[in-house]
Amino acid sequence: MSMFERFEAGDVRALIEAYPLAWVCAAGGDGIEASLLPLVGRYDGDGMPVELIGHMMRSNPLHALLKRRPQATFLFKGPDAYVSPQHAGKRDWAPTWNFAQARIRAEVAFGESFTGTSLNILIDAMEAGRAEPWTKDELGRRYHEMLEQIVGFRARVTSVSARFKLGQDEQPEVLSTILESLPDAETVQWMERFNQERLPAKAD
């Protein structure tokens, strides 16, 4: 197994929660159908996803496709950044691209009565921590009109794979130089997450 494919269950959870907009893909008669959809995960005691919750427009081609064949692939993409030799401080160092990604396969089940719940779950997750969280009640009559056009779903996770290419193969001094010079703060944060044991402790 590649060092980039070694991760803890909590790493996948952190990726999904920080980057909840994922490609939902399914095989159709003419190839692959795909849509970007926001998703909320449900996790086991170790933090590994066991279910994904979402909704989609009834007119979305994925709706009819997944009702016939409920297998879908969910592609989550985290931070990414081009890393130049300038960031590494070495002209004889090859440029690279750092990134984080997760691929989840799941069985999708739509639920007419679940649509409102799926929206509540998403709204609660996205509005959490705001000074004045928005609620669906503020839409008034429009909420019920919109509700008729969408359908909620649960996706039971059947497999999880991920790749976190975040500098684990770099020499400590090169890694430190990259972390100090790379302007992408989110990628730097994830690089630090996956290289904690190889980095000097930060002063309090």
What are the tens digits of pLDDT across the range 15-44?
999 999 999 999 977 789 999 999 999 999
- Six-digit token string for 21: 């907009």
**Residue at 143: amino acid letter:** Y
Q: How far apart are CA 77 and CA 20, in angstroms?
A: 9
Task: List, for residues 157-169, the tens digit of each pLDDT value.
Answer: 999 999 999 999 9
Give one word for 89, left, alpha or beta, with left for phi > 0 and alpha for psi -120 to 50. left
Q: Go through the domains of the chain in sequence order and give each one's CATH number.
A: 3-195 (2.30.110.10)
- pLDDT of 200 > 90? The answer is no
pTM: 0.93
3-state secondary structure of 201: coil
Task: List, for residues 82-108, the tens digit of each pLDDT value.
Answer: 999 999 999 999 999 999 999 999 999
Do 109 and 66 contact (CB within 8 A), yes or no? no
3-state secondary structure of 100: strand
Give backbone dihedrals phi and psi of 186, rounded to 5 degrees, phi first.
Answer: -70, -40
Q: How far apart are CA 167 and CA 201, in angstroms?
A: 17
- Six-digit token string for 26: 């399914």
Element holding 126 (H helix, E strand): helix 115-127
Do 116 and 147 contact (CB within 8 A), yes or no? yes
pLDDT band for position 198 (50/70/90)? Answer: confident
3-state secondary structure of 2: coil
